Every structure is written in C-alpha cells, then in structure tokens.
C-alpha cells in the first residue's frame, strides 16, 4: 500500500498570507490527524478528522482549521500567517487494529513564513 502523502513538501509564504496543506491517507484509513513540529514546542496535536467530522482539536488559535473529504483526504488551512507558524506540518492516518489505533505519518510539509 502507498503511504501517507502530503503536498506540497515545501512552502514559503509571507506574513499575513494564508496557506492550504493537503494530506492523502493510506488507502482504507478513515482517520487523519495533523501535528505541528517546531524546535521550541516540539510535536503538537492540531486536530483529528474521522468520516469528515472533526473529533478532536488541539490548543491552537482559530486561524488553524481543517477539513476532511468523503474520500478521507484532508486539508488544513492557516490564515493570516505569522512568523511563528513556520514549522513542519505532519499528517497521520490511522486505523483501529482492535487493540487501539496505529498512526502512520507522512513526510510532512515544511512551511516557512517570512
């Protein structure tokens, strides 16, 4: 099976702009989660979607939003970009093995805000 794919892999934006990142989960996985990774804060949970519904949300401002489509693909959007939004954004798709969830991550999108 193909792994989790994320596009684009690299992105450079200017403060104040908005950005949309895309994630395609592993075939058959219906759940997608997003994480932000920065040197200072480490890996932090953004949100999780299952069957087009947001099931869980991390402690991020409303500028961060996401959605999931009927084919399980997900997008996250960051509006009014700030310098501090520069980070690696990781998407994970997961399935429940019957003994809990296993999450598999994509290669990430590295966002630089200038």
Partner 1 sequence: AQKVTQAQTEISVVEKEDVTLDCVYETRDTTYYLFWYKQPPSGELVFLIRRNSFDEQNEISGRYSWNFQKSTSSFNFTITASQVVDSAVYFCATAQGGSEKLVFGKGTKLTVNP
Looking at the Cβ atoms of 19 and 90, the one nearer to partner 1 is 90
> Encoding tokens for residue 109?
């999108």
For residue 97, how many other CB atoms are within 10 A of its CB? 8
Interaction of residue 90 with partner 1, rule CB under 8 A: yes
Q: Which of residues 22-81 bind partner 1 (CB under 8 A)?
A: 31, 33, 35, 42-45, 48, 55-56, 58
d(CA 72, CA 4): 11
84 by DSSP, 3-state: which? helix
- Read off the DSSP letter of residue 97: -
Q: Which of 13, 75, 86, 105 binds partner 1 (CB under 8 A)?
A: 105
Binding site for partner 1 (CB under 8 A): 31, 33, 35, 42-45, 48, 55-56, 58, 88, 90, 92, 94, 99-108, 110
């Amino acid at each position: 099976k193909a792994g989790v794919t994320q596009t684009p892999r690299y992105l450079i934006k200017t403060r104040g702009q908005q950005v949309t990142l895309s994630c395609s989960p592993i075939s058959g996985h219906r759940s997608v989660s997003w994480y932000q990774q920065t040197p200072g804060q480490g890996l932090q949970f953004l949100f999780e979607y299952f069957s087009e519904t947001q099931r869980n949300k991390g402690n991020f401002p409303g500028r961060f939003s996401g959605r999931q489509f009927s084919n399980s693909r997900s997008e996250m959007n960051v509006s009014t970009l700030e310098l501090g939004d520069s980070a690696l954004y990781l998407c994970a798709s997961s399935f429940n093995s019957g003994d809990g969830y296993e999450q598999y991550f994509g290669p990430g999108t590295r966002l630089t805000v200038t």
